[in-house]
Amino acid sequence: MAAVFRFVLRRLVLTVPVLVGVATLVFSLIHLVPGDPAVAMLGEGAAPDDIAALRTSLGLDRPLLEQYGAFLRGVVQGDLGRSFRTGQPVSTMIAERLPATAELAIAALLVAIAIAVPLGIIAAVRQHRAADHAAMIFALAGISIPNFWLGPLLAIVFAVELGWFPVSGRSGLASLVLPATALGLALAAILARMTRASLLDELGELYVRAARARGVSARNAVLRHALRNALVPLITIVALQFGAVLTGSVITETIFAWPGVGRLLIQSIGFRDYPMVQGCILFIATAYVTVNLVTDLLYGAVDPRIRFD
């Protein structure tokens, strides 16, 4: 237990410079984007005095380094500032959108795992056969098709033409199907290939042959012996792709008008809402780092050979 605590503490310390780097990069890039938040809020025809007064009230007239220092101090204190557009605290608005994004991300991961693991097992067990080739064709197609094309296609076919699901919004389980599918299919393709490759490596190991020699059925040898060890690299891929799920949700939420953090980020970029953009991206980076930490802890649970010290 002490080793786990030291490992977690060490990882938390290492995440501090990562998050500071993300915050610095986001602050720098958002201020380099052309456009003035005051002009975006008041309109191009606003009087110069009104624009100057709004810039002063928003603190945009202060030197950039002073604004950066205030931003970092706020982050350390848990204060991400207030939205230029609504005046509400950024952390409050993100917290309101967080359940929708978490719901979509978890649903997309479940869709991906439900498709990828059985597909990868079938492809590995039936290597170089028709099922294997079909699975790899699906994986290639899934990786090649971007979700900004797949999302509208699913909406046109299953929402507009067939009317099976809502085309947009968050109004129940039915409205979750299309965005989760659009977001999860690309991840399913990657996981299917990794499941196949990892399982093929394990099926060639001596312990699997020994299990078969002891009279273990082929099904149990695959599912109870080989698949357990094959899950370790699969967990790694799921964790690494979680960042892709979060960034992909920005596009998917916009396509399906899903009221999550991704859509809030896109809207905030359009309004030049600096605090909101910084808060959303910092939240995504923090979530990504947290998932990677949890993944490292899961290694020890899945594979007893791994020790934290």
Q: What is the pLDDT of residues 253-288, one digit of tens each?
A: 888 888 888 888 888 887 888 888 888 888 888 887
For residue 303, the model assigns a pLDDT of 56
pLDDT tens string 165-215: 888 878 878 888 899 888 888 888 888 888 888 887 777 666 766 766 777
pTM score, whole prediction: 0.77
- pLDDT given for residue 49 in this prediction: 80
| Whether pLDDT at 305 is above 60 | no
Q: Is the pLDDT of residue 308 over 60?
A: no
What's the pLDDT tens digit per position in 1-11?
A: 666 677 677 77
Tell me the CATH number of domain 99-271, given options 1.10.3720.10, 3.40.50.720, 3.40.1160.10, 1.25.40.10.
1.10.3720.10
pLDDT at site 39 = 76
Residue labelled with tokens 């608005």: 93
pLDDT of residue 306: 56
Mean pLDDT of 19-42: 78
Report the alpha-carbon distance of residue 218 to residue 98 in Å, rounded. 44
Q: Give the pLDDT band of residue 298 (cuts 50, 70, 90).
A: low
Q: Nearest 10 degrees: CA dihedral of 51, 53, 54, 60?
A: 100
Which pLDDT belongs to residue 4?
63
99-125 confidence digits (pLDDT tens) = 888 888 889 888 888 888 888 888 887
Q: Tens digit of pLDDT for each residue in 126-169?
A: 777 887 788 888 777 777 787 778 888 888 888 888 888 888 87
Residues 189, 244: Cα–Cα separation, whole Å: 13
In this prediction, residue 250 has a pLDDT band, given cuts at 50, 70 and 90, of confident
Dist. CA 119–CA 194, nearest whole Å: 11
Residues 42-97: pLDDT tens digits? 777 777 787 788 788 778 778 888 888 888 888 888 888 888 888 888 889 999 98
